[in-house]
Structure 1
Amino acid sequence: MDYGTLRGVITLIILTLFIIIVIWSYSKKRKSAFDKAANSIFEEDHKEETNKQETNNV
């Protein structure tokens, strides 16, 4: 196996991994987990604001 063939095989492996990652990330099974992770920052901010308001009222 020469250097050109090796580079071709490695390129095909990387392309295959890329396609697998894209399919995994856009699958319907993962959508709810990604949506939850995307919205988690807003939930934490809301909790902190609620805690600040409660401490100010006391």
Structure 2
Amino acid sequence: MDINTLRSIATVLAFVAFIAVTLWAFSKRKKGDFNEAANLPFDDDEDMPNKQSAENKQK
């Protein structure tokens, strides 16, 4: 087996991995999880104390 055969095998394996990750990312089963993760930045309001009351205490 020469180096070109190994390179060809590595290329095919990388392509198969790329296709697998792409199918996983766009699968309908994961859509809910990804939507939940996309909304995480907007969920900070519950964790933080009332911003207005903190500003009033500083004055």
TM-score of the alignment, normalized to the shorter chain, above 0.5: yes
Give the Cα–Cα distance (whole angstroms) in 2 for the partners of residues 20 and 28 of structure 1: 14
Q: Determine the structure 2 residue equivalent to 1:36.
A: 36
Deviation at 1:51, TM superposition (A): 2.2
Which structure: greater helix fraction? 1
Q: How many residues align?
A: 56
- Superposition deviation, residue 52 in structure 1: 1.6
Q: TM-score, normalised by structure 2?
A: 0.80
Determine the structure 1 residue equivalent to 2:7. 7
The one-letter code of the counterpart of 1:26 is F
Identity, % of aligned positions: 38
Query: Is the counterpart of residue 53 in structure 1 residue 52 in structure 2?
Result: yes
Q: Distance in 2 between matches of 1:26 and 1:54?
A: 43
* TM-score between the two structures when normalised by the length of structure 1: 0.81
Q: C-alpha distance in 1, partners of 2:19/2:30? A: 16
Gaps of 5+ in 1: none
Do residues 26 (structure 1) and 26 (structure 2) align?
A: yes
